Structure 1
Amino acid sequence: MPPADGPDLVETAPSEADMGLGALAARLVPLGEGRFRLDGAEGWMQGRTMYGGAAASIAYAAAIKAFPGLPPLRAAQVGFVAPVGEHLEAEAVMLRQGRSVSQIETSLYCEGTLVQRTLWLFGAGRTSNGSITAARDEGLTSPEDSPNLGKNEMAPAFTARMDLRRADLPGGSPPGTIRRWVRFKDRSGLDPVSELVGIGDALPPGSARAMERQGPISSITWALTILGDVPPTREGWWLLETRSNHMGEGFSSETLRLWNSEGVEVMRGLQSVAVFG
Structure 2
Amino acid sequence: MTPDMRDLLRPFRDEAIARDIPVDDVERWLGTARPCAVLTRDGDRGGDGPVVGRFGGPLLLPADVPDPVHPFVASIDLAALPADATDLPLPPDGRLLLFAFPETANDYETMGSVVYVPAGTAVTERDRNAWNSFDFEDEKAMFEAFPQGPLRATAGVSLPYHHAAARGAIAPAGPLQIGGYAWEEAICTDPVADAVSHAVKAAEAGRWDGRVSGDVSDWVLLADWQAGMDVEGWESASVHWVIQREDLVARRFDRTFTDVFWNP
The structure whose RCO (Cα within 8 Å, separation 6+) is larger is: 2
Structure having the higher helix fraction is 2
Structure having the higher strand fraction is 1
Normalised TM-score (structure 1): 0.28
Normalised TM-score (structure 2): 0.29
